[in-house]
Amino acid sequence: EIVMTQSPATLSVSPGERATLSCRASQSVSSNLAWYQQKPGQAPRLLIYGASTRATGIPARFSGSGSGTEFTLTISSLQSEDFAVYYCQQYNNWPRNTFGQGTKLEIK
Amino acid sequence: EVQLVQSGAEVKKPGESLKISCKGSGYSFTSYWIGWVRQMPGKGLEWMGIIYPGDSDTRYSPSFQGQVTISADKSISTAYLQWSSLKASDTAMYYCARRVDTAMITYRAFDIWGQGTMITVSS
């Protein structure tokens, strides 16, 4: 099973600043990686797929990069509604897709 | 509107059986796989398994193989997750989510999620 490791576990950032979240795979997943946002009491929402393609309706301040084993989600200028938990998921290894443990983005 | 609507919260006792549902609407149900994801209280997301309603092809995570059963009824655009004997450790929120059936792996993320079904197992 491919293990996905996210860092940091918690990230404190001020509104308007940039946030950078990392996700590492235990073996190559090519570009078959997604990022999801989950707010308290809500279902996850797809932000990025294919490592760098924004899903429908996702603001341009969200961007993804990376391939192979190292991936990054960047939020360029944090808005109040962006404070949430973010998960990466690899879907290269079929059918054993796996999630990272999550990064909580909190207000500094 | 494309949506997945899940059945309501359940409170059960250990040893009881349970079947929860996930109904798709606004899209071609048989063109997408439906996956199930567990989220234990205060914890992260765990991929449980997935089914293709078109032919009921089903795959499980090793962690959940034999612990749950995933099924679907394409005639009513509904997928199911069931337990034959619940344990307290099954207490969690369960989400269904869809991903397109495609040979192009890059598009296989879960793009639409259900609202979740909370299962509480307690004596």
Closest to A74 measured CA to CA, from A27, A24, A35, A39: A35
Taking an 8 Å cut-off on Cβ atoms, the answer to whether A99 and B46 are in contact is yes
B56, two tokens: 């009921």
Per-residue pLDDT of chain A (108 residues; tens, 9 = 90+): 899 999 999 999 999 999 999 999 999 999 999 999 999 999 999 999 999 999 999 999 999 999 999 999 999 999 999 999 999 999 999 878 999 999 999 998
Amino acid symbol at B99 = R
List of residues 6+ apart from A55 with CB closer than 8 A: A46, A47, A48, A49, B109, B111
For B52, which residue in chain A has the nearest alpha carbon? A95
**CA geometry: angle B116, A46, A26, nearest 5 deg:** 100
In sign, the C-alpha dihedral spanning B87, B80, B22, B8 is negative
8 Å CB contact of B50 and A43: no
The per-residue DSSP string of A33-85 comes to: EEEEEE-TTS--EEEEETTTEEPTT--TTEEEEEETTEEEEEESS--GGG-SE
Q: What is the dihedral of CA A57, A61, A62, A66, to 10 degrees?
A: 130
Q: How many residues does chain A have?
A: 108
Q: Per the CB < 8 Å rule, is A97 touching B35?
A: yes
How confident is the model over B79-98, as a mean pLDDT? 98
Q: Which residues contact B69 (CB under 8 A, 6 or more apart)?
A: B80, B81, B82, B83, B84
What is the rounded CA–CA span in Å between residue B43 and residue A34? 19
CA distance B44 to chain A (A): 5
Nearest to A91 among B37, B62, B109 (CB): B109
Residue B33's pLDDT is 95
The C-alpha of B27 sits at a distance from chain A's nearest C-alpha, in angstroms, of 16
**Structure confidence by residue, pLDDT tens digits, B36-88:** 999 999 999 999 999 999 999 999 999 999 999 999 999 999 999 999 999 99
Cis peptide upstream of residue B41 (ω within 30 degrees of 0)? no
* Residue B47 to residue A97, Cβ atoms within 8 A: yes
| Closest chain A C-alpha to B85 CA, distance in angstroms | 24
B35 CB neighbours in chain A (<8 A) are 97
